[in-house]
């Protein structure tokens, strides 16, 4: 288990050889944004052999929570973004849970917060059978967006990543 | 500029030596979740010398968009999470924009979508002077949450990362 003290010390060592980064106006925006799970078994930067290239990491790799970030990029970096990629993966934590089950769990722990629990949603997958369907849902959500260029919507691709084989399978 | 074809080919090469990952029940959950910006100049995995340890990456490193993910972790991995870390950084894209300015920009481009534009929010920083304040806002938001353990709220820490020096400065 990594403690915060260890991370802090690692940052101190890192900073000794850190090369100052350029200011934002001199940085070329990433042409690709990847929606992917935070799961450590899905190492985007390794399997693409790149530093995370605009990787938007959240639970499950769902698009909805970070859709506004995409709108931000479209509004501020006109035309820079060329591809949107959605990656869900096998054995994801989201396959083990349903929103309904999570709410029941929270209601047991917080019986006085029924309304607040009811307002929550995660769009968990509920089952490993739903992985391709969940990718399709996210691609559909993207394609419904008014603030995203048609070209970018047309280029969007979705994949299921297999933690056992390390390969991506395109979802069509 | 990396094209999708190049990324796809890199994944093919990677998969040839990929080591199958264990199933979720055999994986120890990360004790730390880090909210950080997707900006490539803020390489969490480098400056902590670790693979991204539960790094939740979005625009600005804001907590609000991915707060539900934190609630998911608390609900499903009871007690596993020990630290929440919020990192905003110097020269962030969010320092160059205000929500108001972004909406004005979108309204010019989409004059028929005024209500939809009005419903958007990013909690951009608006200025580099607001970096410490924006970290404090995110820590406050965390501490208001009913579904997060008190111990975890008490352990939460916030930092400003300096892209020029590579160092973290604690926000108190």
pLDDT, one tens digit per residue, over A31-87 is 889 999 999 899 888 888 766 567 888 999 999 999 999 999 999 987 889 899 999
CATH superfamily of B29-170: Carbonic anhydrase (3.40.1050.10)
* Predicted pLDDT at A43: 87
Q: How far apart are CA B152 and CA B31, in angstroms?
A: 10
Q: How far apart are CA B139 and CA A127, in angstroms?
A: 34
Q: What is the mean pLDDT of residues A124-147?
A: 97
Interface check B47 vs A, CB under 8 A: yes
How many angstroms away from the CA of B138 is the closest CA of chain A? 16
Which residue is closest to B17 within chain A, CA to CA? A166
Size of interface A-B (CB pairs under 8 A): 223
Beta bridge partners of A33: A84
Among A17, A82, A103, A92, residue whose Cα is nearest residue A62: A92
Look up residue A69 and give its DSSP letter. Answer: H
- Rounded to two decimals, the ipTM of the complex is 0.91
Domain boundaries, chain B: 29-170
* CB < 8 Å to B12, chain A: 167
pLDDT band at B1 (very low <50, low <70, confident <90, very high): very low
- pLDDT surpasses 90 at A147: yes
* Predicted pLDDT at B91: 97
């Amino acid at each position: 288990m990594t403690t915060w003290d260890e991370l802090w010390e690692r940052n101190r060592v890192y900073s000794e050889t850190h090369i100052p980064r350029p200011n934002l106006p001199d940085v070329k925006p990433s042409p690709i944004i990847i929606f992917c799970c935070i799961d450590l078994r899905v190492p985007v930067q390794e399997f693409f052999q790149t530093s995370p290239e605009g990787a938007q990491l959240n639970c499950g790799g769902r698009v909805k929570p970070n859709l506004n970030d995409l709108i931000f990029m479209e509004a501020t970096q006109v035309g820079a973004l060329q591809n949107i990629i959605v990656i869900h993966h096998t054995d994801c934590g989201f396959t083990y849970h349903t929103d309904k089950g999570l709410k029941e769990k929270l209601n047991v722990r917080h019986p006085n917060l029924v309304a607040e629990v009811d307002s929550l949603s995660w769009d968990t997958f509920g089952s490993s059978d739903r992985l391709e369907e969940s990718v399709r849902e996210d691609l559909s959500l993207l394609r419904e967006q008014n603030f995203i260029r048609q070209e970018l919507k047309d280029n969007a691709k979705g994949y299921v990543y297999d933690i056992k084989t390390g390969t991506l399978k395109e979802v069509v």
